[in-house]
Amino acid sequence: MCGRFQQSSDLATLQDRFAFRAEGLELRPRWNLAPGQDALVVRLAEEGRRGSLLRWGLVPAWSKDAATGYKMINARSEGIAAKPAFRGPFKRSRCLVPADAFYEWAKQKGHKQPYRLALADDEPFALAGLWDRWQAPEGRELESFTIITTQANQLVKPIHDRMPVMLARSDEDAWLDPASPAEALEGLLKPYPAQAMGSRAVSARLNSPANEGPELVEPVATQGGLFSEEGDGA
């Protein structure tokens, strides 16, 4: 699964990387983004790519209650085009979720140790997302998103059996293109190459979404860790 991620690059860096418009958008760096919080997503609009802040946790348009979103922070890639909550967004409202890293927790000596997983060059990348627009009975609108997951690659597997879908840069346009056939899109929902990634153990303070700041992602020593002493699994 993906229950926490890092989106700490500044807006100018993300605009340069993902080529989106962001008029009026204010973005603060986040090292510990959690479900129920707002995050930057990139969608395709008439004028091209546009960045927006959406709530993490998909609330389908047909839902009776916004609380549904807390159960839909992730969407399994297997059979996604047929699942009631995701088939509509998969067909018409896909998005990129920019990230600097995501986190998974490993059980080690009676506690859960968070690991930061990112590209080996530590550049921002895109997670495959879906979004939807929900309207409350009183008329209030809520736009929300979910992150698609797939089977873990060899780097992530010692920690968790699932990982978020990290899109290759060359596949991002196809993911956003409304004309892309479902079969081609499903082919993009695969594990990212493990050799292009790196990992390290980080602060257990990540366990609480109330904690924020760059100190959370500094490498920490572990006893009998999953990877090498440096925590690099590339």
The separation between the first and the last C-alpha atoms of the chain, rounded to the nearest angstrom, is: 20
Q: How many CB atoms lie within 10 A of CB 16?
A: 12
Nearest to 148 by CA among 106, 90, 209: 90
Cβ(31)–Cβ(119) below 8 Å: no
Give the whole-angstrom CA distance, residue 5 versus residue 73.
12
Pairing state of beta strands 111-119 and 197-201? antiparallel
Q: Can you tell me the distance from the alpha carbon of 204 to that of 218, in angstroms, rounded to the nearest whole number?
A: 11
- Which of the following is catalytic: 2, 95, 143, 172? 2
Catalytic option among 26, 47, 104, 212: 104
Q: Establish whether 104 is a catalytic residue.
A: yes
Whether 95 is catalytic: no
Helix (H) or strand (E) holding 54: strand 48-56
In sign, the C-alpha dihedral spanning 50, 52, 54, 59 is negative
Number of residues assigned to the chain: 234
**Which residues are catalytic, by number?**
2, 104
